[in-house]
């Protein structure tokens, strides 16, 4: 179970403490077991600092605490604090990664049956979409929906999400796309063929929590080959 240690302290020497933490990261190299660290400063009190450090488990946190460099850094941290820091040990019982959930909902909705929904709960009105299929970027929710309808009119399809990686305001999805060619696509008449494609999409989220920009990379050449569009060129 994921484990989080919350450290709270007061210091007027935050810059020195920041450098101390950089030193700890450097000295422990690949031996530290923390997977994520977040430091916050109280907006109403610059001296009030809160740090949250995430570990895969309580046991990994204890292994990290037993590193000699961790003890050395702790003593340095205490010396920089105006008062003794406090520690809180938390077992994570709920972990919602909201951007990742939005990306999953996006793919489910894109491939869903029936009429394409408005998507305004997922995508910003001024969203920019970058796709190698198009010579120019697609800008605005209405234009993006027209592009999605083009794919839905041409194929019955489903996405399998192979990987999702999130960092700050971005989520990268690696996916597999399986489809049946049922309608005209880039001038190619319906073939009824079963086709597949792999690709990646990078999503950037805006301040409102909606998708503000997308970058698509996929095997368009492989798709055209499966549809028979390259047969004459190969002869």
Cα(153)–Cα(116) distance, integer angstroms: 10
Residue 97 C-beta-side C-alpha neighbours within 13 Å: 12
Average pLDDT over residues 193-202: 97
Residues 19 and 125 in one domain: no
In this structure, are residues 177 and 194 in contact, taking their beta carbons and an 8 Å threshold?
no
Dihedrals φ, ψ of 184, to 5°? Answer: -60, 140
What is residue 232's predicted lDDT score, i.e. its pLDDT? 54
In this structure, are residues 38 and 51 in contact, taking their beta carbons and an 8 Å threshold?
yes
pLDDT band, very low/low/confident/very high, at 135 (cuts 50, 70, 90): confident
pLDDT band, very low/low/confident/very high, at 235 (cuts 50, 70, 90): very low
Residues 131 and 59 in one domain: no
Q: What is the pLDDT of residues 19-77, one digit of tens each?
A: 988 887 888 877 888 888 889 999 999 999 999 989 889 899 888 888 888 888 888 88
- What CATH number is associated with residue 25? 3.30.70.100
β-sheet bridge partners, residue 201: 173, 216
The residue out of 59, 91, 123 marking a domain boundary is 91
Average pLDDT over residues 171-176: 98
What total number of domains does the chain contain? 2
pTM: 0.73
Residues 83 and 184 in one domain: no
Residues 55 and 112 in one domain: no
The residue out of 56, 91, 126 marking a domain boundary is 91
In this structure, are residues 202 and 115 in contact, taking their beta carbons and an 8 Å threshold?
no
Specify the higher pLDDT residue, 119 or 92: 119
Average pLDDT over residues 92-107: 90
What is residue 166's predicted lDDT score, i.e. its pLDDT? 92
Residues 59 and 104 in one domain: no
In this structure, are residues 217 and 199 in contact, taking their beta carbons and an 8 Å threshold?
yes
β-sheet bridge partners, residue 204: 170, 213
Residues 61 and 176 in one domain: no
What is residue 137's predicted lDDT score, i.e. its pLDDT? 95
Residues 64 and 103 in one domain: no
- Domain limits for position 23: 3-91
Residues 109 and 207 in one domain: yes
DSSP 3-state percent helix, strand, coil across the chain (nearest 5): 35, 35, 30
Residues 54 and 108 in one domain: no
Specify the higher pLDDT residue, 62 or 97: 62
What is residue 162's predicted lDDT score, i.e. its pLDDT? 98
Distance of CA 15 to the CA centre of its chain: 30
Nearest C-alpha neighbor of 195 from the set 219, 215, 174? 219
Residues 74 and 20 in one domain: yes
Residues 23 and 107 in one domain: no
Residues 105 and 125 in one domain: yes
- What CATH number is associated with residue 189? 3.10.450.50
What is residue 234's predicted lDDT score, i.e. its pLDDT? 53
The residue out of 46, 61, 91 marking a domain boundary is 91
Average pLDDT over residues 187-198: 96
Q: What is the pLDDT of residues 158-173, one digit of tens each?
A: 999 999 999 889 999 9
Whole-number average pLDDT of the chain: 91
């Amino acid at each position: 179970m994921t484990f989080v240690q919350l450290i709270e302290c007061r210091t007027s020497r935050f810059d020195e403490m920041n450098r101390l933490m950089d030193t700890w990261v450097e000295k422990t190299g690949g031996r530290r077991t923390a997977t994520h660290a977040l430091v916050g400063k109280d907006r109403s009190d610059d001296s009030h600092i809160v740090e949250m450090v995430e570990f895969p488990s309580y046991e990994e946190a204890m292994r990290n605490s037993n590193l000699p460099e961790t003890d050395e850094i702790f003593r340095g941290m205490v010396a920089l604090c105006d008062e003794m820091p406090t520690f809180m040990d938390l077992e994570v019982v709920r972990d919602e990664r909201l951007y990742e959930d939005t990306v999953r909902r996006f793919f489910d909705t894109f491939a869903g049956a029936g009429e394409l929904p408005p998507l305004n709960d997922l995508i910003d009105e001024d969203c920019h979409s970058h796709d190698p299929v198009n010579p120019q970027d697609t800008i605005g929710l209405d234009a993006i929906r027209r592009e999605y309808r083009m794919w839905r009119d041409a194929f019955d399809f489903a996405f399998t999400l192979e990987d999702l990686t999130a960092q700050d305001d971005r989520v990268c999805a690696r996916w597999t796309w399986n489809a049946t060619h049922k309608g005209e696509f880039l001038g190619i008449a319906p073939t009824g063929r079963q086709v597949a494609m792999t690709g990646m999409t990078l999503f950037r989220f805006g301040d409102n929590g909606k998708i503000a920009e997308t970058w698509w990379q996929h095997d368009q050449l492989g798709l055209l080959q499966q549809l028979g569009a390259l047969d004459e060129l190969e002869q």
